[in-house]
Chains A and B, each alone.
Chain A
Amino acid sequence: MSDTHANSVAFVRTEQVPPSPPPFQTSGPVKWAKDNLFSTPLYTLLTIVAAYFIYVILANTLPWILNGVWSTSSLAECREVLDGVSGGCFSVLTERWNQLLFGFTYPSEEYWRPTLAFILLFAAAAPVLFYKLPRKLLIITGLFPFVAYYLIWGGTIFTPILALVGFVAGYFVYQRFVAGSFAAGFFGGVAAALVVWNIGGMLIPENANENAMLLAVPSRDLGGFMLNMMLGVTCVSLSVPLGIALALGRQSDMPLIKWICVVFIEFIRGVPLITLLFVASVMLAYFFPPESTTDLFLRVVIMITMFSSAYIAEVIRGGLAALPRGQYEAADSLGLDYPQAMRLIILPQALKISIPGIVNIAVGLFKDTTLVSVISMFDILGMIRGPILASTEWNGVYWELLGFAALLFFVVCYGISQYSQWLERQLATDHR
């Protein structure tokens, strides 16, 4: 073909010209800036305002952070070192590091125990959070509460072992009977666990705590960020099963059970957490048998668990309601009874839908654990507002301490919410 033109025209381009780069104005950073920052006068104004805002914040905080003093032993000393220059006295963090993390009464030679428990927490949480990991790893998750309890509180090792044996016994009985009827399996399991605990409780010697391998630490000595973590993890994990039960109860056909659940949920959701904590600190003690006293930590765990279980129940109810009616009908048509249908068909799907919601509740709850500082528990905020700021050396260091607490919470909560978003994308099985 090209031959035909060879003689008739003077010049024929035989191959395509490579595309020339777009003009400078419409490409690269200039175009990007033009499109994204200065497209209209209004946007230009907004950009300038925003840039100024960022400048002001950075100009004030950066020198303060960069000039920070990390190694003095009191505020007066730190001010001397700074000599009028703007700078943070971060030495309060280094000096009180252990108090901020563990509270002021946890024995200092035992700090490795909560730290180890914290590391194990990741191993235990991994199989729950990442469902692609082998399911066998769930055994670690199952063992974690007992190990963590033993590590943090110490004392005799028989206590967590006994608790574990009780659960294992209950599980086996449950497995044995559940094929016949769920109720038989469930109640049989509970009964078996109670029997084991009862017998075991008599076997544990009275003074077992005294010569234990790990020093027993009373829960009053827990504090700092550790307390926030413990309250958050314990209460969320306890409230998920409770929330499932409440959500199912609220959906139930049995009017009495339904109303008990509705009243409980609406009551808890209607009052602020702080009033529930007041209940824990000033009222709950009156509701326990007169001969026994229950310590504040347990009372707070009870109230926060109730609080979060009501919210989780509502999330799960949303998940249950979002399932197509057909799923329920299909389960019925297979001849499954109610526990079977719930266990095998409905809950796995409903829980999957609810996970992002549950994670949100968990984040909110974790943030709310700071409220215990109001009822004289020394969590990280309580430590800051109480012993540290009241001490002669550090009286007046606000920004460094509050900023540190804020940073810790931000890291944890932001991490969890990023995980939740990742999970949402993973679980999105509808094809868009």
Chain B
Amino acid sequence: MTTLTDPPQASFRLSMLLSDTRYRSYTFQFIALMLLIAAIAFLGSNLMRNLAAAGLNISYQFLGSPAGYDINQTLVEYTSQSTNAKAALVGILNTLLVAFLACVTATVLGVIAGVLRLSNNWLVSKLMSFYVEIFRNIPVLIWIIIIFTIMIAVLPGPRAFRGDEPSASMVFDAIAFTNRGVYIPAPVWGPGSMVVVITFLLSVVGVFAYRRYATKLLYDTGRLLPMGWPSLAIFFVPALLAYLVMGMPIGLEYPELKGFNFSGGIKVGGPLIALWFALSIYTGAFIAENVRAGIQAISKGQSEAAGALGLRQGRIMNLVVLPQALRVIIPPLISQYLNITKNSSLAIAVGYADITATLGGITLNQTGRAIECVLLLMLFYLTISLSISAVMNVYNNSVKLKER
């Protein structure tokens, strides 16, 4: 608040703490600080008294003691004799795994649904809006349970594959869909497979180098090299050649029915699939809305202007509309990724061993260290969220419209 006259030079009086805007903010902050301290002291002393009354203490020593339970899906080596901290690590990796997978598929689904919803095809666009509305308006927990139930009730158990006249059979003799999960062939790395892998990695680098070169050539000289087929060729041909030259060193190990279960191959567990799928289609519906809003936010004048410059339809999309639409799409997209990560904590409903199920579930139950486990759990999610937000801020700053 500005006044034309100079502020009065009167000496400081106590009443100015309330009446003078210069000092009043200090008063308020002081009060706020006092209230905060009082609240913390109140809660803290209650905690101390409660713990003392129950004879408990806060201790993180349980993290170092053996967990004692087994986990069915682990990305790192883990046995029931590993420590609770290791079990938490397994959970963290599983959380990140399902979150990553779901982010990828949700994006694909969402972009397809968002674009199709804008299509002129009446049936398809209605179908897509139906998809979006159905999935957006029903709780994700219900979806997770529904999809898990579908998996369990509809897919055959391994028992159905047994016998002379099995009621179920493997797809292409390679992939088995069971209600315990999907078994897919695993690659077997024979001698010489390193060469193939290295060739493949080099050719990936080659693709990028070629595209860079073509772009540079276009900007420098105006000559337009074909992009599509040379990229594909560089991508596949050298690796394929190396594979043949080395005498096909990479084989596939097919899953086989042995004893109670399939063995061999890679097992993608049922809970993982259910969670992955449910999170993907649920979040995909939200992403579809973001994509639609992003594309619609680009005014028609932009594509008309590009058309007037003589750009082809594909190039208008690639060079004019998409870069601008992405600026609108990506921030909400990243917060959807954040939601996926947080919603993956619902794994507990289907028995997927994520961090909430290991640290916040079994470890908490077995050790009874509720406060410690929940605090660690929150710390983990907070770290993830803050890192994703940090990435988002960096991105937002880099694409911010550079205005004068």
Task: Determine whether A260 belongs to the interface, using a CB cutoff of 8 Å to chain B.
Answer: yes
CA distance A200 to B403 in the complex (A): 61
Contact partner, B142, options A54, A335, A402, Cβ 8 Å: A402
In the complex, whether B244 has a CB less than 8 A from a CB of chain A is no
- Which listed residue (B124, B374, B381) contacts A270, Cβ 8 A? B381
Residues of chain A within 8 A (CB-CB) of B122 are: 32, 36-37
Question: Which B residues are in CB contact (< 8 Å) with A405?
Answer: 142
Taking a contact as CB atoms under 8 Å apart, the answer to whether A53 and B127 are in contact is yes
A254 and B25 in contact (CB under 8 A), knowing A260-B32, A371-B141? yes
Asked whether, in the complex, the Cβ of A267 is within 8 Å of the Cβ of B29, the reply is no
- Is B120 in contact with A36, judged by CB distance below 8 angstroms? yes
Question: Is B363 in the interface zone, CB < 8 Å from A?
Answer: no
CA distance A371 to B139 in the complex (A): 9
User: Is A295 positioned at the interface, with any CB of B under 8 Å from its CB?
Assistant: no
Q: Is B356 engaged at the interface, CB distance under 8 Å to the other chain?
A: yes
Residues from chain A with a CB closer than 8 A to the CB of B142 are 370, 381, 402, 405-406, 409
Within 8 A of B (CB), among A255-307: 255-257, 260, 266-267, 269-275, 278-279, 282-283, 285-290
The answer, among A46, A271, A289, A398, for a CB contact under 8 Å with B385, is A271
Within 8 Å by CB of B371, from A50, A266, A286, lies A286
A370–B139 touching, CB < 8 Å: yes
Give the residues from 225 to 271 in chain A that come closer than 8 angstroms, CB to CB, to chain B: 253-257, 260, 266-267, 269-271
Quick one: CB contact mask for A332-371 with B, threshold 8 Å, 1 for yes? 1001010000000000000000000000000100011011
Chain A: minimal CB distance from B49 (Å)? 5
Contact B123 A287 (CB under 8 A): no
> Least Cβ distance of B269 to chain A in Å?
20
Task: Name the interface size band of chain A.
Answer: 35 or more
Once A and B bind, how many residue pairs between them come within 8 Å at the CB atom? Answer: 156
| Distance (whole angstroms) from the CB of A217 to the closest CB of chain B | 26
Contact B25–A286 (Cβ < 8 Å): no
* CB contact between A47 and one of B123, B134, B138, B371 (< 8 Å): that residue: B123
At the interface, yes or no: A43 with Cβ under 8 Å from chain B?
yes
B141 touches A267 (CB 8 A): no
A414 within 8 A of B: yes
Asked whether any CB of chain B lies closer than 8 Å to the CB of A39, the reply is: yes
Residue on B nearest A269 in the bound complex, by CB: B385
For residue B261, CB closer than 8 A to chain A, the reply is no
Say if the beta carbon of B93 comes within 8 Å of chain A. Answer: no
User: Does B120 lie within 8 Å of A275, measured CB to CB?
Assistant: no
Across the interface, which residues of A come within 8 angstroms of B123, CB to CB? 36-37, 46-47, 50-51
B36 touches A260 (CB 8 A): yes
**B296 at interface (Cβ–Cβ under 8 A)?**
no
B29, B116, B153 — which one has the most chain A CB atoms within 10 A of its CB? B29
Complex CA distance for A370 and B343, rounded to whole angstroms: 13
Shortest C-beta distance, B137 to chain A (Å), equals 4
Do residues A274 and B346 form an inter-chain contact, with CB atoms below 8 A?
Answer: yes
Q: Is A129 an interface residue (CB 8 A)?
A: no
A267 to B381, CA, bound (A): 10
CA gap between A210 and B81 in the complex, in Å: 56
How far apart sit A410 and B137, CA to CA, in the bound complex (Å)?
A: 5
Q: Does B207 contact A (CB under 8 A)?
A: no
Interface presence of A417 (CB below 8 A): yes
Pick the contact of A371 from B153, B346, B384 — CB < 8 Å? B346
Chain B residues with Cβ below 8 Å from A371 are 141, 346
Interface residue A373 (Cβ < 8 Å from any Cβ of B) = yes
The answer to whether B138 touches A271 (Cβ under 8 A) is no
Q: Is the interface of A mostly helix, strand, loop or mixed?
A: helix
- B377 x A275 contact (CB < 8 A): yes
Interface membership of B197, Cβ < 8 A: no
Task: Decide if A43 touches B370 in the complex (CB within 8 Å).
Answer: no
Q: CB-CB < 8 A to B348: which residues of A?
A: 274, 374
Tell me the minimal C-beta distance from A339 to chain B in angstroms. Answer: 12
Quick one: given A47-B121, A257-B29, A289-B46, are A282 and B137 in contact (CB under 8 Å)? no
B139 near A368: Cβ-Cβ < 8 Å:
yes
Please, which residue of chain B has its CB at the minimum distance from the CB of A266?
B386
Instruction: Chain B residues near A282: list those with CB within 8 A.
Output: 364, 370-371, 374
> A413 contacts the other chain (Cβ, under 8 Å)?
yes
- What is the total number of residues of chain B having a CB less than 8 Å from a CB of chain A? 57
Report Cα–Cα, A406/B32, bound state, in Å. 44
Tell me the smallest distance from the CB of A62 to a CB of chain B, in Å. 16
C-alpha gap A46/B113 in the complex (Å) = 13
- Interface check B294, CB cutoff 8 A: no
Q: When the two chains form their complex, are residues B137 and A417 in contact, meaning their CB atoms are under 8 A apart?
A: yes
Q: Tell me which residues across on chain B come within 8 A of A110, comparing CB atoms.
A: none
Name the interface residues of B83-133: CB closer than 8 Å to any CB of A: 116, 119-124, 127, 133
A279/B374 in contact, CB under 8 A = yes
- Pair B46/A286 contact, Cβ less than 8 Å: yes
Chain A residue contacts of B14, Cβ below 8 A: none
* A406 with B138: CB separation less than 8 A: yes
B378 interfacial contact with A, CB 8 Å? yes
How would residues 359 to 388 of chain B score, 1 for a CB under 8 Å from any chain A CB and 0 otherwise? 010001000001100100110011011100
Pairwise interchain contact A290-B374, C-beta atoms closer than 8 A: no
Given contacts A283-B374, A287-B43, contact A363 B25 (CB under 8 A): no
- Decide yes or no whether A393 CB sits under 8 A from chain B: no
A35 in the interface (beta carbon within 8 A) = yes
For A184, give the chain B residue with the smallest CB separation: B18
Asked if A290 and B53 sit within 8 Å, CB to CB, the answer is: yes
What CA separation (Å) do A402 and B141 show in the bound complex?
11
The contact string, 1 if C-beta is below 8 Å from chain A, for chain B 49-80, is 11101000000000000000000000000000
Give the chain A neighbours of B392 by CB distance below 8 A.
none
Contact across chains for A286 and B121 when beta carbons are under 8 A apart: no
Which residues of chain A are near B32, meaning CB under 8 Å? 254, 256-257, 260
A274 to B137, CA, bound (A): 19
| A402–B149 CB distance below 8 A | yes
Q: Is residue B28 within 8 Å, beta carbon to beta carbon, of the partner chain? A: yes
A289–B163 CA distance with the chains assembled, in angstroms: 64
Contact partner, B138, options A288, A335, A368, A413, Cβ 8 Å: A413
Of chain A, the residue at the smallest CB distance from B153 is A398
Quick check: A413 and B356 within 8 Å, CB to CB? no
* B contact residues vs A (CB 8 Å cutoff): 1-2, 21, 25, 28-29, 32-33, 36, 43, 46-47, 49-51, 53, 116, 119-124, 127, 133-134, 136-142, 145-146, 149, 153, 342-343, 345-346, 348-349, 356, 360, 364, 370-371, 374, 377-378, 381-382, 384-386, 389
Please name 5 further chain A to chain B contacts, defined as beta carbons within 8 Å, in addition to the given A274-B356, A287-B46, A402-B149, sorted by A numbering.
A46-B124, A279-B378, A289-B49, A290-B53, A409-B137
Residue numbers of A with Cβ under 8 A of B are: 32, 35-37, 39, 43, 46-47, 50-51, 53-54, 253-257, 260, 266-267, 269-275, 278-279, 282-283, 285-290, 332, 335, 337, 363, 367-368, 370-371, 373-374, 381, 385, 398-399, 402, 405-406, 409-410, 413-414, 417
Question: Would you mind naming 26 contact pairs between A and B with Cβ atoms under 8 Å apart?
Answer: A36-B122, A43-B120, A47-B121, A50-B124, A53-B127, A254-B25, A257-B29, A260-B32, A267-B382, A272-B356, A278-B360, A279-B378, A282-B374, A286-B371, A367-B137, A370-B139, A374-B348, A374-B349, A398-B149, A398-B153, A402-B149, A406-B138, A409-B138, A410-B138, A413-B136, A413-B137
Shortest beta-carbon contacts, A-B, top 4: A270-B385, A413-B137, A36-B122, A272-B342
